[in-house]
A and B are shown apart, each in its own frame.
Chain A
């Protein structure tokens, strides 16, 4: 089976006044369908840049990136927007919920951009919110929800378009340990249902919960550590 995501020799450089700053150096990465991958690295290691490239928010300087069989480097801005909408589900450290929209409206947001009809959109968003355990909080505003609940809304929003990959950037970073654990448990549960997850973190305790860990240091994906797991 073809991998969902395949990166070969991805390099990313920033050109500053003083010269070239290589952030990613020949990164090779393959994510199969149903995988749960942690990208573990300290700050400044290039993991955010890697996540931006995986999420099609940024383009690599060189290399090859195939996502769901499509070459990302050939795409224009409009195609990239569509890929972000359909293939990637973003989960951010600080949730990034729109404060004036209810939980339900926040979850509906990506579906607006895929031009789904209103009633279907609403039904689907409600379904997903039920699934992350917020069936009773649909009409709450983000500031009426706890951090854990907000992150669940964000996860529901990421999942609502049935993306190929859930891409989580430090999903527990703004949460206390207990709530963070609950969120990772939710990830494990979703992964058992077949959802592919890529999680970026600097916290080893969180990273080990994934099926696979990729270490990144100074722009080099240095080792891949396979975790023994029971399928």
Chain B
């Protein structure tokens, strides 16, 4: 009986190919847009999250605003933070601006940053050529420098800068490495900076304070506690003065970003679901037309022994068929659309089984919900009226 109903439904759907196709179109568009939107938003989220994580999902940024009495962190403050449990390493920054000189060329107002080896270890892709600043440089307060890609082009066009000597603030430094050009999502371009060991910077730049500090965590799950401990140290260092520093946890940022994006994808899917409902109404409309057209058939089937249940089942299967077939096409088009758009935008996507299951479930539900009323109507037809209608 069930198989017969499926066979009959299939015959009716294939008989009116154009009409069935147009009816399905609503579902196709609805499902396709749900799939494409969810997939693209998820893809974009993953891509951005990955970029941000690369920048340091285990990082805490501390930026010192300072007080009139104390403009930055001392080396001792930094050591105290490094000693906090769960801190794997710290990377202080000492910034200054000065002119650099190479042979006859002078570049004014170059950003000089004192950093340590942790900064380079955190991102192995930072160095393009030569070497990074290492622990020995820091211990010996060596006069070595790693320079940004724009400076390489400006000062050493067509030459290998490694081993060359430049003057920074009147002191000679040897260039030991060059930096890779900054990536798109990185915060603060490093293309125009010179990086020197921070111990050297404290000595020779005339700056005595650490202006910012990146703290690398061992376990990101304990980030909140660690942040509290570091705040304690900072509060003591700045005598509990408000707004003397800012501290933020990269993990928090990633998390809130992801929750915003997932909310966004739900919102978009919700909008797309509206088109699914419109598609459902299309199915209902077509089913009502079909039933009017096939009144004689319904009457005849009833005269031959079909129960209301059988009639209802047959028409319900027909509408579920329409919506599920529409859903399958939608899946296909949605996936295609997502891939094409993703390639266009330049992000990587993967279509998840759960997304497909969700969309298919939705379209089947639409078939049942919007098919029920017409099916019920058909099953309630009085066979006498139905047979007379011929």
Q: In the complex, which residue of chain B has the Cβ closest to the Cβ of A52? A: B384
A96-B390 CB under 8 A given contacts A58-B384, A110-B304: yes
Name the distance in Å between A120's Cβ and chain B's nearest Cβ: 14
Give A3 to B352 CA distance when docked, in angstroms: 68
Contact, CB under 8 Å: B307 / A90: no
In the bound complex, residues from chain A placing their C-beta under 8 Å from that of B304 are: 84-85, 90, 109-110, 113, 157
Sample of 8 more A-B contacts, CB < 8 Å, known A58-B384, A85-B304? A57-B383, A77-B307, A77-B308, A84-B302, A94-B390, A96-B296, A96-B300, A157-B304
Q: Any chain B CB within 8 A of the CB of A148?
A: no
In the bound complex, residues from chain A placing their C-beta under 8 Å from that of B297 are: 98
A81-B384 CB under 8 A given contacts A98-B300, A115-B1: no
In the bound complex, residues from chain A placing their C-beta under 8 Å from that of B309 are: 78
Give A58 to B307 CA distance when docked, in angstroms: 15
Q: Any chain B CB within 8 A of the CB of A75?
A: no
In the bound complex, residues from chain B placing their C-beta under 8 Å from that of A112 are: 1, 4
Q: Any chain A CB within 8 A of the CB of B15?
A: yes
Give A136 to B213 CA distance when docked, in angstroms: 94
Contact, CB under 8 Å: A86 / B305: yes
Contact, CB under 8 Å: A81 / B1: no
Give the total number of A-B pairs whose CB atoms are below 8 A apart: 58
In the bound complex, residues from chain B placing their C-beta under 8 Å from that of A115 are: 1
Q: A77, A94, A113, A157 — which one has the most chain B CB atoms within 10 A of its CB?
A: A113
Task: Identify the 6 closest CB pairs spanning chains A and B, nearest first.
Answer: A85-B305, A113-B305, A81-B307, A110-B304, A96-B300, A90-B303
Q: In the complex, which residue of chain B has the Cβ closest to the Cβ of A115? A: B1
In the bound complex, residues from chain B placing their C-beta under 8 Å from that of A78 are: 307-309
Task: Specify which of B4, B303, B387 is in contact with A84 (CB 8 Å cutoff).
Answer: B303
Q: Contact residue range for chain A? A: 20 to 34
Chain B residues 199 to 247 lying within 8 A of chain A, measured CB to CB, are: none
In the bound complex, residues from chain A placing their C-beta under 8 Å from that of B165 are: none
Q: In the complex, which residue of chain B has the Cβ closest to the Cβ of A88? A: B303
Majority SS of interface residues in chain B?
helix
Q: Any chain B CB within 8 A of the CB of A114?
A: yes
Chain A residues 66 to 90 lying within 8 A of chain B, measured CB to CB, are: 77-78, 81-82, 84-86, 88, 90
Give A52 to B384 CA distance when docked, in angstroms: 7
Name the distance in Å between B387's Cβ and chain A's nearest Cβ: 7
Contact, CB under 8 Å: B305 / A100: no
Name the distance in Å between A229's Cβ and chain B's nearest Cβ: 30
Name the distance in Å between A197's Cβ and chain B's nearest Cβ: 17
Q: Any chain B CB within 8 A of the CB of A55?
A: yes
Name the distance in Å between B13's Cβ and chain A's nearest Cβ: 12
Residues 327-356 of chain B, each 1 if its beta carbon lies under 8 Å from chain A, else 0: 000000000000000000000000000000
In the bound complex, residues from chain A placing their C-beta under 8 Å from that of B15 are: 100
Q: Any chain B CB within 8 A of the CB of A92?
A: yes
Contact, CB under 8 Å: B384 / A57: yes
Name the distance in Å between B6's Cβ and chain A's nearest Cβ: 12
Q: Any chain A CB within 8 A of the CB of B82?
A: no
Q: B296, B301, B305, B384 — which one has the most chain A CB atoms within 10 A of its CB?
A: B305
In the bound complex, residues from chain B placing their C-beta under 8 Å from that of A94 are: 390
Task: Specify which of B301, B307, B308, B390 is in contact with A109 (CB 8 Å cutoff).
Answer: B301
Name the distance in Å between A92's Cβ and chain B's nearest Cβ: 7
Q: In the complex, which residue of chain A has the Cβ closest to the Cβ of B311? A: A81
A84-B1 CB under 8 A given contacts A92-B387, A98-B300: no
Q: Any chain A CB within 8 A of the CB of B358?
A: no
Q: In the complex, which residue of chain A has the Cβ closest to the Cβ of B379? A: A77
In the bound complex, residues from chain B placing their C-beta under 8 Å from that of A113 are: 1, 301, 304-307, 310
Name the distance in Å between A58's Cβ and chain B's nearest Cβ: 6
Q: In the complex, which residue of chain B has the Cβ closest to the Cβ of A114? A: B305
Residues 108-126 of chain A, each 1 if its beta carbon lies under 8 Å from chain B, else 0: 0110111100000000000
